[in-house]
Amino acid sequence: MEFRHLGRSGLMVSEISYGNWITHGSQVEEDAAKQCVQAALDEGITTFDTADVYAGTKAEEVLGRALAGVRRESLEIFTKVYWPTGPGPNDRGLSRKHITESLHGSLRRLQTDYVDLYQAHRFDVETPLEETLKTFDDLVRQGKVLYVGVSEWNADQIGRALKIADEMGFDRLVSNQPQYSMLWRVIETEIVPLSEKEGVSQVVFSPIAQGVLTGKYRPGQPPPAGSRATDPAGGNFISRLLNDDVLARVQQLEPIAADLGLSMAQLAVAWVLQNPNVASAIVGASRPEQVRDNVKASGVKLDSEVLEKIDDILSPIVERDPSKTVSPERRP
C-alpha cells in the first residue's frame, strides 16, 4: 500500500481507503462487515471513512466494533456530519449545536477519543460559515478532531471557507470528499485547480461508480444476485448509471484492463489515483475478496496512451459539468 499526504498537512493516508456507506448496518451482515474490515487491514489499508448518517448511525457502531482492539495510532478514522440523525430541526446541518452533539455520538459509536478527519458532509445554507468553522476549530483545540474537511462543496464554498479561516486564524480545511470516477469528472475544472493552489486534497468516493466500472452489470441483463443494484437502499443510488449506453461502453474497457493485467475494478481505482490532487480513493465492498482485488490498484501507473483509449470509449457519457456539485437548497 502506498501513502499520500492529506492536503498540505503532515498526515499520511493510505491511497486506498475503505468506506462503509450502504454496506455496514444495512446491506451486509455484521460478520461480512468485519471480514471486509479485516481484509482491508491485512492489505495495508489504514484509512477508514464513515458518517454519522450511514444506516441511521448503525454503520459507525459496526465500524467501531470491527476496529476495536486495533492500535489506534495505526488508523486514520474519518467521519462526517450534516445529514439528519434524528427527527428534530437541530438533528441536522452544521450549527454549533448539531456538530458538537453529532461528534460526541460518533466518538461513542466508533469507540475512540478522537477522529483523524471530521468532514462537513454538504454545505449548510442555514448556518453562517463562520459558526461552522469556529466550531470545527474549537473541536480541533479540544483534541476531539485532528483535521477538518468537507464533502461535495463547490469551489466557491471551499474558497470562502479558506478565506475565513485565514482571516480568523481558524484551522484550515485539508480535504474535500467529492464523487470522482472515470464517469464523473465534475471536480476537474474548478475544484481541483483551486485545491492544488490551496493545499487541499480530494478524498474521492465511488471510484468504481458503485460497482458499475467492474463491468458486472451487463446491458440488457438483470443485475447480478447480491449486487448493490438489487439492494433496497443501494438500488436507488446506482440506478442512474444502469442504462445500456453506459453499460455497453464500460464493457469496451475490458480489453484495456486485460492488456494491463488488471481487473476492471483495479483499472477504475488506478484511474482516479493518477490525479495527483487525489490523496485517497475510498472503495466500498460487500465481500472481503473485493477489498483484496481493489487494493492491488495501489501504485499502478497508467500511461497517456491508456488514458486516451479510455477517453475515446467513455467521452460521450462522461459528466464534466462543475455545476453538478450541489448541496441541498435547504437543510434536509
Closest to 21 (Cα-Cα) out of 185, 150, 207? 207
Whose Cβ is closer to ligand NAP: residue 49's or residue 168's?
A: 49
Of the candidate spans 64-72, 165-173, 270-278, 284-292, the one that interacts with ligand NAP by CB under 6 A turns out to be: 284-292
Distance, first Cα to last Cα, the chain: 38
Decide: residue 110, CB within 10 A, 0-12 exposed, 13-18 middle, 19+ buried. buried
Interface residue with ligand NAP, options 144, 228, 249, 331 (CB under 6 A):
228
CB of 269 to ligand NAP, least distance (A): 8
Return the residues of window 116-145 that contact ligand NAP according to CB under 6 A: 121
Contact pick of 47, 112, 176, 290 for ligand NAP (by CB under 6 A): 290
Q: Does 202 bind ligand NAP (CB under 6 A)?
A: no
Tell me: does residue 293 bind ligand NAP (CB under 6 A). yes
Residues in contact with ligand NAP, counted by CB under 6 A, come to a total of 30
CA 31/CA 99 separation, integer angstroms: 31
| Binding segment toward ligand NAP, per CB under 6 A, in 188-196, 203-211, 303-311, 317-325 | 203-211
> Smallest distance from the beta carbon of 23 to ligand NAP, in angstroms?
6
3-state secondary structure 183-228: CECCCCCCHHHHHHHHCCEEEEECCCHHHHHHCCCCCCCCCCCCCH
52: contact with ligand NAP by CB under 6 A: no
Q: Where does this chain touch ligand NAP (CB under 6 A) — which range of 38-46, 254-262, 282-290, 306-314?
A: 282-290
Please select the residue that binds ligand NAP; options are 112, 127, 175, 177, rule is CB under 6 A: 177
**DSSP single-letter state for residue 143:** T
Residue in 205, 271, 310, 327 binding ligand NAP, rule: CB under 6 A: 205
Q: Does 147 bind ligand NAP (CB under 6 A)?
A: no
* Cell numbers that stand for 106 in this block: 460518533
| Dihedral, CA of residue 174, residue 62, residue 106 and residue 21, to nearest 10 | 50
Q: Check 18, 54, 180, 217 and give the catalytic one.
A: 54
Question: What's the grid cell of residue 63?
Answer: 465500524
79 contacts ligand NAP (rule: CB under 6 A): no
Cα angle, residue 325 at apex, residues 239 and 129 outer, rounded to 5°: 130
Q: How far is the CB of 250 from ligand NAP (least distance, A)?
A: 12
- The SS3 call for residue 30 is helix
Q: Which of 55, 14, 20, 325 minimizes the C-alpha distance to 176? A: 325
For this structure, is 54 an active site residue? yes
Secondary structure class of 262 (helix, strand, coil): coil
Residues designated catalytic = 54
Write out the residues near ligand NAP by the rule CB under 6 A: 19-23, 49, 121, 151-152, 177, 205-211, 214, 216, 227-228, 265, 282-286, 290, 293-294
